[in-house]
Amino acid sequence: MSEEEFRLLRDLVYSHCGLWFDDQNSYLLEKRLSRRLAVHQLKSFREYYQLLRFNRKRDQELEEIMDLLTTNETYFFREEYQLKAFTDEIVPEICAARGTREHNHRIRVWSAGCSTGEEPYTIAMLLLEMECLKDWSIEIVGTDISQRVLQHARRGIYGPSAFRSTDDYYKNRYFAPQPEGGFRVLDNVRKLVTISHLNLLDSTRMKMLGSFDLIFCRNVIIYFDQTAKKKVVESFYQVLRDSGYLLLGHSESLMNITTLFNLRHFKNDMVYQKPVGSTFGGA
């Protein structure tokens, strides 16, 4: 891959989904995209760039390379201390704020970058265990840009590596062993979760998801450059309800990205919260 080919392909990928490859990672882009040259029997990366720009199946091809370029390794009950803040502090706070008015007894959570589904199903299991949510309407939306991992999430069958941090209680209560191997998420969990395809840079489609009380977006924006991070986080702000929460990965921060959110210090973790009555004016 020549320097010019790298920059053309890098910029095309970036404009599509916000993933950024700096000059030091040109080898990574070359290694992963070389498979697609072989599939299409192309002789150069410039020919492949032309395919991505002008071929009538370009959208389908962009979906294929999203599977190659994104990292999808995950498992159930990841980052336990953050989940403890979620169940012990954040959700009880939401319940208390809603009071006794039954028409307010609804909670919506978005797992943005849900990969193969372990995160939204983990959230569903945790919420099913919470007494304060008994008789509440619970809705969890899981989205990802990769169609391949979404198919896995919809299938809901997982092997041993997905359970590396799962207590036997949850495995026995919410999964059924399958004759062909693996464990399937039970329907009482699955019915709370909707799995959808979404590009996080598509702010119009993001708004169509509706409003949320809480967004999990863990270890996703680390792959974006500063401009893309800002756009995605500001879109999160738009769909969060007042006092809504944004939970990022342990190595992620909104420092130097936006000042729209307040940083809340809970006993178990620090999370971002949308201020009450705030108006969006950028940051």
DSSP string, 96-154: HHHTT-GGG-EEEEEEET-TTTHHHHHHHHHHHT-GGGTT-EEEEEEEES-HHHHHHHH
CATH code, domain carrying 58: 1.10.155
Do 184 and 209 belong together in one domain?
A: yes
Do 65 and 163 belong together in one domain?
A: no
Which of 206-211's residues contact partners 24+ apart within 8 Å by CB, and which partners?
206/235, 206/238, 206/239, 207/235, 207/238, 207/239, 209/110, 209/141, 209/143, 209/239, 210/108, 210/239, 211/108, 211/239, 211/240, 211/241, 211/244
pLDDT at residue 19 in the model: 80
Summarised one tens digit per residue, pLDDT across range 34-84 is 989 988 999 999 999 999 998 888 888 888 888 778 766 789 999 999 999
Q: How many domains does the chain have?
A: 2
Do 168 and 235 belong together in one domain?
A: yes
Do 106 and 241 belong together in one domain?
A: yes
Do 168 and 259 belong together in one domain?
A: yes
Summarised one tens digit per residue, pLDDT across range 228-241 is 999 999 999 999 99
Residue 280 in domain: no
Q: Which of 13, 41, 69 is the last residue of a domain?
A: 69
pLDDT at residue 282 in the model: 42
Do 27 and 152 belong together in one domain?
A: no
Structure tokens at 53: 């720009």
Please list the ranges in the chain whose pLDDT falls under 50: 281-283
Do 146 and 52 belong together in one domain?
A: no
Do 62 and 88 belong together in one domain?
A: no
Do 42 and 146 belong together in one domain?
A: no
Domain span holding position 140: 80-273
Cβ contacts of 281 within 8 Å, gap of 6 or more: none
Residue 164 in domain: yes
CATH code, domain carrying 86: 3.40.50.150
Residue 61 sits at φ, ψ, to 5 deg, of -70, -40
pLDDT at residue 283 in the model: 38
Do 180 and 98 belong together in one domain?
A: yes
Do 10 and 107 belong together in one domain?
A: no
Active-site residues, by number, are: 32, 144
Residue 124 sits at φ, ψ, to 5 deg, of -60, -45
pLDDT at residue 72 in the model: 66
Do 162 and 223 belong together in one domain?
A: yes
